[in-house]
Amino acid sequence: MSAQERIIIAGLRPTKARLAVLNTIADADSALSHPEILERLSTQKEFDRVTIYRVLDWLTEHDLVHKISGENRAWKFQLSQQKFTSATAPKATSAVLSNNHHHAHLHCKVCGKVTCVHELEPHFPAPLLAQYQVTSIDINIKGVCADCASLK
């Protein structure tokens, strides 16, 4: 699915900057930080860092990408799993607990590559959830990716 289709299916308006940033994230084989996205878009001088920041916020807000906490508290951005119901579904009321926000991330300690693991989800005891208002869930698993392991 192209960046343009993802934005249109979500009922949103694609702009040049939105498409450029979303394509950059979609083309990467791992989550990208803001400086990495800037670097990859540096050939397209029409987008300054503020524009790219704003677009990243917009993409995150609309759940087209999600933020992952990386090293040194720097966020990394990864494409969200497309929700095929998003065109018809009302705005997610429990966005925090939607599928995009409670999966786990594998972090390679060597190269910093981040991979989404949608199969691993937290299962909360209902009494705890009733008492505590969860606003975000961030499960991080550290290890060594296959590429880095094969270098040894």
Residues that bind Zn ion (CB under 5 A): 78, 108, 110-111, 113, 116, 145, 148
Cβ-based nearer residue to Zn ion, 58 or 75 = 75
Q: ∠24-29-32 over CA atoms, to 5°? A: 55
Nearer to Zn ion, 44 or 141 (CB): 141
For the bound state, the minimum distance from the C-beta of residue 130 to Zn ion, rounded and expressed in Å, comes to: 27
55 or 108, CB closer to Zn ion?
108
d(CA 72, CA 105): 16
3-state secondary structure of 26: helix
Alpha-carbon torsion (146, 148, 151, 152), positive or negative: negative
Using CA of residue 85, residue 87, residue 88, residue 91, what is the dihedral sign?
A: positive
| Cα gap 64→70, rounded to integer Å | 19
- CB of 83 closer than 8 Å to CB of 99: yes
Residue 80 beta carbon to Zn ion: minimum distance, rounded to whole angstroms: 7
CB closer to Zn ion, 87 vs 120: 120
Nearest approach, Cβ of residue 118 and Zn ion (Å): 8
Closest approach of Zn ion to the CB of residue 22, in Å = 15
Instruction: Report d(CA 24, CA 78) in Å as an integer.
Output: 10
Which CB, 13 or 152, lies closer to Zn ion? 152
Q: Smallest distance from the beta carbon of 11 to Zn ion, in angstroms?
A: 22
